[in-house]
């Protein structure tokens, strides 16, 4: 491998690196998937993470190949699941931990029309593996479901916060993680590599989430950033074994705790929870459940979303040493492993990216 680890530790970095293959900025879901793919290919890397972007940490962690608002398939949903489930299984084995809890979703119908739409969706080839072609009675006394429910299979929840924490500690123990903010001003571009505070690398990949808006090399990308807020409640009478989806999702966490979400705010770009967000969630939650509950937590994060709802992958048009892995939106748990494979194939072997995710679709914005 093309790297050398020195013995002398120097400030401000924790150790001195002469040459590595990749520098990665950001270690959320995208960064972890990228590191896993690089590790499988025996590539060397160093990660910078300052924990400023919280969207991965506060995410509900659901993976679901069905858009439940109108019963449409998620973009490449089956392909994403095909890579995501083995990815999290490997991580569970790596850390001897349980991150992935598979559980069905019960979608509450609002009308007879929605029931009919459900049956139509069940006949679609891309949805058939995931939708039960029946209308189910409501099994929960404390859930409101006048028009009954439909069951979504092949879904579940990843404990993202625990996974990210374990992964950061793991890389720090290997001296491959530096917990500090990345200074774009200190990045030096050479013809075939980059330099950063004494480190030299063939490439750098920015997995900064909404922080890419402060990146002078990629701030031209149309990353909108959508704030989401969630609350955690304690509801001993609820006793759910599945996720309930209606005006909000109600996700069992264990010990009578439930994650409730989520809001969508396109103007507020802060990670601070708000009274407005909490009240919106409570108002919607009370249309779904009838039992008493207590709020135990309230979180917020800014999702990295794009106008066309497709991720942002690829090399900078003028500086091919620089690459970006971003824009995963609300589905990073499911999409990040598949996209990491595509991006590394592109960077290592010049494989073509899917045009729907290639940042070249927005290259006109750089020239504007």
pLDDT value at position 60? Answer: 80
Residues 231 and 295 in one domain: yes
Domain limit, last residue, from 303, 324, 350: 303
User: Is the sign of the CA dihedral 152, 32, 212, 350 positive or negative?
Assistant: negative
Length of the chain in residues, anyone? 368
> For residue 262, is the peptide bond before it cis, meaning its omega torsion is within 30 degrees of 0?
yes
In a domain, 331, yes or no: yes
Residues 237 and 151 in one domain: yes
User: Is the sign of the CA dihedral 338, 344, 345, 346 positive or negative?
Assistant: positive
Pairing of strands 105-108, 243-245: parallel
User: Is the sign of the CA dihedral 82, 88, 94, 96 positive or negative?
Assistant: negative
Q: Which of 279, 331, 287 is nearest to 30 (CA)?
A: 331
Residues 293 and 174 in one domain: no
In a domain, 84, yes or no: no
Question: How far apart are the C-alpha atoms of 301 and 201, rounded to whole Å?
Answer: 31
Residues 137 and 232 in one domain: yes
Residues 130 and 169 in one domain: no
Statement: residue 10 has pLDDT above 70? no
* Span of 9-13, 40-44, 296-300, 348-352 with lowest mean pLDDT: 9-13
Statement: residue 53 has pLDDT above 80? no
Band (pLDDT 50/70/90 cuts) for residue 192 is: confident
- The answer to whether 60 and 157 are in contact (CB under 8 A) is yes
Residues 229 and 273 in one domain: yes
Question: How far apart are the C-alpha atoms of 232 and 293, rounded to whole Å?
Answer: 10
In a domain, 83, yes or no: no
DSSP 175: T
Structurally, the chain folds into a number of domains equal to 2
In a domain, 4, yes or no: no
DSSP 352: P
Determine what percent of the chain is predicted with pLDDT higher than 90.
Answer: 86
Give the mean pLDDT of 110-120. Answer: 97
Residues in Cβ contact with 305 at an 8 Å cutoff, skipping those fewer than 6 apart: 223, 224, 225, 226, 327, 329, 330
Residues 234 and 146 in one domain: yes
Give the mean pLDDT of the chain.
92
Statement: residue 105 has pLDDT above 90? yes
Residues 341 and 282 in one domain: no
The CA-atom distances, in angstroms, between 116 and each of 23, 69, 110 are: 51, 14, 11
In a domain, 81, yes or no: no
pLDDT value at position 54? Answer: 65
Between 366 and 322, name the one with better pLDDT.
322
Q: Which of 242, 278, 243 is nearest to 263 (CA)?
A: 278
CATH number of the domain encompassing residue 137: 3.30.9.10
Band (pLDDT 50/70/90 cuts) for residue 107 is: very high
In a domain, 15, yes or no: no
Residues 34 and 168 in one domain: yes
pLDDT per position as a tens digit, 75-100: 999 999 999 999 999 999 999 999 99
CATH number of the domain encompassing residue 39: 3.50.50.60
In a domain, 137, yes or no: yes
Q: Which of 34, 98, 8 is nearest to 348 (CA)?
A: 34
Determine what percent of the chain is predicted with pLDDT higher than 70.
Answer: 93
pLDDT value at position 236? Answer: 98
Residues 338 and 350 in one domain: yes
Domain limit, last residue, from 281, 303, 325: 303
**0.85 surpassed by pTM:** yes
Residues 192 and 214 in one domain: yes
Domain limit, last residue, from 284, 303, 322: 303
Residue 28's domain comprises 20-57+161-222+308-367
pLDDT per position as a tens digit, 131-187: 999 999 999 999 999 999 999 999 999 999 999 999 999 999 999 999 999 999 999
In a domain, 62, yes or no: no
Residues 42 and 152 in one domain: no
Give the number of other CB atoms < 10 A from CB of residue 134: 13
Residues in Cβ contact with 267 at an 8 Å cutoff, skipping those fewer than 6 apart: none
């Amino acid at each position: 491998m093309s790297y050398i680890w020195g013995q002398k530790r120097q400030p401000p970095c924790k150790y001195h690196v002469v040459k590595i293959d990749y520098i990665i900025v950001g270690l959320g879901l995208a960064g972890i998937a990228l590191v896993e793919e690089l590790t499988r290919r025996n590539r060397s890397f160093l990660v910078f993470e300052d924990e400023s972007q919280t969207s991965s940490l506060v995410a509900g962690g659901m993976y679901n190949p069905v858009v439940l608002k109108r019963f449409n398939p998620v973009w490449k949903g089956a392909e994403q699941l095909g890579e995501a489930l083995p990815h999290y299984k490997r991580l569970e084995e790596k850390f001897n931990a349980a991150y992935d809890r598979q559980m069905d979703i019960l979608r509450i119908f609002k009308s007879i029309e929605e029931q009919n739409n459900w049956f139509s969706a069940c006949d679609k080839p891309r949805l058939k593996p995931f939708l039960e072609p029946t209308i189910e009675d409501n099994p929960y006394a404390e859930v409101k479901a006048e028009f009954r429910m439909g069951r979504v299979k092949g879904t579940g929840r990843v404990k993202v916060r625990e996974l990210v924490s374990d992964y950061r500690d793991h890389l720090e123990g290997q001296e491959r993680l530096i917990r500090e903010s990345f200074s774009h001003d200190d990045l030096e571009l050479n013809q075939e590599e980059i330099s950063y505070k004494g480190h030299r690398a063939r490439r750098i990949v920015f997995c900064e989430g909404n922080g890419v808006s402060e990146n002078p090399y990629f701030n031209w990308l149309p990353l909108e950033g959508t704030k989401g807020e969630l609350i955690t409640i304690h509801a001993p009478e609820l006793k759910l074994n599945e996720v309930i989806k209606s005006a909000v999702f109600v996700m069992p966490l264990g010990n009578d705790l439930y994650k409730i979400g989520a809001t969508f705010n396109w103007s507020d770009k802060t990670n601070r929870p708000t009274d407005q967000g909490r009240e919106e969630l409570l108002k919607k939650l009370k249309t779904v459940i009838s039992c008493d509950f207590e709020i135990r937590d309230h979180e917020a994060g800014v999702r990295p979303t794009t106008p066309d709802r497709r991720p942002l992958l690829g090399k900078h048009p003028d500086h091919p040493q620089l690459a970006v892995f971003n824009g995963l939106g609300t589905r990073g748990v499911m999409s990040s492993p598949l996209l990491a494979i595509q991006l590394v194939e592109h960077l290592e072997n010049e494989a073509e990216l899917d045009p729907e995710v290639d940042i070249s679709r927005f290259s006109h914005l750089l020239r504007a």
